[in-house]
A = this chain, B = another copy of it.
Amino acid sequence: MGNVTLLEVARRARVHPSTASRALGPGYAKYVGEATRRRVLRAAKELGYRPNAIAQGLRKGRAGVIGVVVVDFEHPFTAAVLRGMEISLEAVGLMPLVAETHESSARLEQALDHLVDRRADAIITTAARFPDAEVVERVARRVPLVLAVRSLPGSQLPTIAHDDMAGGAMAARHLLGLGHRRVAELCGPLDVSSFVQRQAGFRSGLAEAGVSEVAFEISATSGTIDEGKRVAAALLERTPELPTAVFAHNDLMAVGAIDAFAEAGIRCPQDVSVVGYNDMLLADHLVPPLTTIRLPSFHLGRLAAEMTHSLLETPDSPPPTISLPPSLVLRGSTSAPRRPNRVQSLPVA
């Protein structure tokens, strides 16, 4: 496992290590004689030399790595965001170093510290929750940091997110346009900007038509099928007069909600319309196919990476804030309300 070092390459090419370094590196290669360069290159190839990125990193003070913090690889759009970042980072020779938080503040802090320790050139986090603001700001003082997907209120940090306010409003307008007047919301965790924005957008969309949503204070602790089911069941239990439409803060929750409704004998979309969020894989293969809000996640990933890169190139430019518009995907889980619901008590699973 003895690794070939620059010194050995230099010896074989009969040059000084620094000459070998110049010949191999892109920046200084022109200051090396053509013949010498060839010799060095050949020696390197023959020995199977690979530069030690750790030593380079120590010397140059940068690791050539961008730290990326995500909630979960299984999260609906994590893969798309990551792929976008990867593609645009690769173009500039940077490698993403990815860490998961699983929605735990402790793990977020740990991941950020890890990345700081590794001297990541910059960090992109898509996992910030409101209680993490202090930690994030602390880290941002040590290394350029970009907030992606999830923003932090009042933060001056460069931010790129989906326009969830617009997404929520879209959902509201769609439902209103269909004729719904009695609507409810199945909220995701409200310590995350995405869900707060969706809620605000949804409510303001309703308000435009003078409608206000069914009061209901329970929100999901995570955006999963089980949580969607639990929250929807609670809605059934607590709401005397059932809403004719429901806006779920993500597709998985929408699926859970539809499950809960079905178990109570309430059909979607005949008895209740459901709008999801994310347009996840297979959303179009469910029954009914899910009407949902589609997010330009791949694009967001690209832009986040580009923003990060330009932040490194031009550290003193004003921190940008980008917001990406979503779009409505019409499918079968929404339709006009059948008729005003009667007060009814329904069995709960």
- A positions within 8 Å CB-CB of B: 1, 3, 50-55, 57-58, 63, 72-74, 78-80, 82-83, 86, 95, 97-100, 113-114, 116-119, 142-143, 255, 281-282, 285-287
Contact = CB atoms under 8 A, between A and B. Distances in A.
A43 to B, nearest CB: 18
A73 B63 contact: no
A116 B95 CA distance: 13
Contacts of A116: 50
6 contacts: A50-B116, A52-B119, A73-B73, A73-B82, A82-B100, A286-B286
Contacts of A79: 72-74
- For the complex of A and B, list the 10 residue pairs with the smallest distance between their C-beta atoms, beginning with the closest: A73-B79, A74-B79, A53-B117, A54-B57, A53-B118, A54-B58, A287-B287, A282-B282, A98-B98, A58-B58
Contacts of A58: 52, 54-55, 58
A86 B100 contact: yes
A229 to B, nearest CB: 12
Contact of A118 (B54, B255, B281): B54
Copies of this protein, total: 2
Contacts of A55: 58
Contacts of A255: 282, 285
Nearest to A81: B73
Contacts of A286: 282, 285-286
Chain A interface secondary structure, helix, strand, loop or mixed? mixed
A118 to B, nearest CB: 5
Contacts of A143: 1
Contacts of A82: 73, 100
Contacts of A1: 142-143
Contacts of A74: 79-80, 83, 281
A109 to B, nearest CB: 12
| Most chain B beta-carbon neighbours within 10 Å: one of A1, A63, A80, A98 | A98
Contacts of A80: 74
A255 B57 CA distance: 47
A100 B114 CA distance: 21
B285 A119 contact: no
A50 B83 contact: no
Given A51-B117, A282-B285, A282-B286, 4 more contacts: A53-B118, A73-B78, A73-B83, A282-B282
A57 B55 CA distance: 9
